[in-house]
């Protein structure tokens, strides 16, 4: 892994301590998926009067997939949850982060070719056998 990638991972770790949700994204088409994510999250920011509430890394290509990280302010997600009320509570998943992944996936499915998203911290802990 490059030095700039390691620095960015450290930066994301520091941001996560300040209330961010870090999401691993895997996509077959980085351009379409990153544009669709940016569009969807920009609309969300507009809707809840947020600003600069998400960042995205560059991608790395391996095994036919592009891998990158999306980091979203928890405050943006909390505003979404408040705005949606009981509809947000009914989304599949346990807790704010999982419900947000469900919401994001539902809003992205028709706008991007195959992609998968998962909470970054969960993927890292399962990689080492910690559940």
Of 92, 101, 42, nearest to 34 by C-alpha is 42
Separation of alpha carbons 23 and 12, rounded Å:
10
- pLDDT in single tens digits along all 131 residues of the chain: 566 655 666 555 554 446 899 999 999 999 999 999 999 999 999 999 989 999 999 999 999 999 999 999 999 999 999 999 999 999 999 999 999 999 999 998 887 778 999 998 755 555 544 43
pTM: 0.76
Give me the residue spans of the domains in the chain: 24-115
Cα gap 67→50, rounded to integer Å: 26
Number of residues that make up the chain: 131
Close Cβ partners of 45 (under 8 Å, ≥ 6 residues apart) = 51, 53, 54, 76
Q: Which two tokens stand for residue 52?
A: 């600069």
């Amino acid at each position: 892994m490059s030095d700039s990638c390691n620095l960015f991972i450290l930066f994301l770790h520091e941001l996560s301590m300040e209330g961010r949700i870090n999401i691993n994204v895997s996509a077959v088409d980085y351009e379409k998926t990153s544009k669709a994510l940016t569009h969807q999250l920009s609309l969300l920011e507009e809707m809840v009067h947020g600003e600069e509430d998400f960042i995205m890394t560059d991608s790395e290509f391996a095994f036919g997939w592009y891998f990158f990280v999306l980091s979203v302010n928890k405050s943006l997600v909390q505003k979404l949850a408040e705005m949606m009320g009981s509809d947000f509570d009914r989304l599949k998943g346990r807790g704010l982060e999982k419900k947000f992944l469900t919401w994001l996936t539902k809003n992205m499915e028709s706008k991007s070719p195959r992609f998968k998203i998962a909470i970054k911290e969960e993927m890292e802990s399962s990689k080492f056998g910690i559940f």
